[in-house]
Amino acid sequence: MDDEELEEIRRKMRKKLLEKEAGEEEEAVFLGQNLEPEARQRLSNLKLVKPELVKQVEQYLAELIRLGRITPPITDSQLKQLLLTIQSGKHEQKIQYK
């Protein structure tokens, strides 16, 4: 590979990264506008402990809002219910010793 090819690859990677960051920022603003302060605070606290769960919840909430299945602003109690629903779908493995 010559320098021009490497530079082109770098430009493409930078562009993809910027697009991804812009999309995440848009989603954060969208959710910020549609969550009550208590619900937003709960998500922020949870993000410190379980960032993968928060990402899943944010995506699900955004989809529900866009489809009109839930009306903003989303209250803390609605968020709690959603978290319980998502968490109940996950099964923890228990090891039993005999």
Element (H, E) at 68: none
The stretches in the chain having pLDDT less than 70 are: 90-94
pLDDT of amino acid 93: 61
Q: How far apart are the first and last CA of the chain?
A: 61
Q: Architecture of domain 3-85 in CATH?
A: Orthogonal Bundle (1.10)
Query: Domain extents for the chain?
Result: 3-85
74-97 confidence digits (pLDDT tens): 999 999 998 888 887 765 566 778
64 contact partners, CB below 8 Å, separation of at least 6: 70
Quick count: other Cβ atoms within 10 Å of Cβ 57?
Answer: 22
For residue 91, what pLDDT is reported? 55
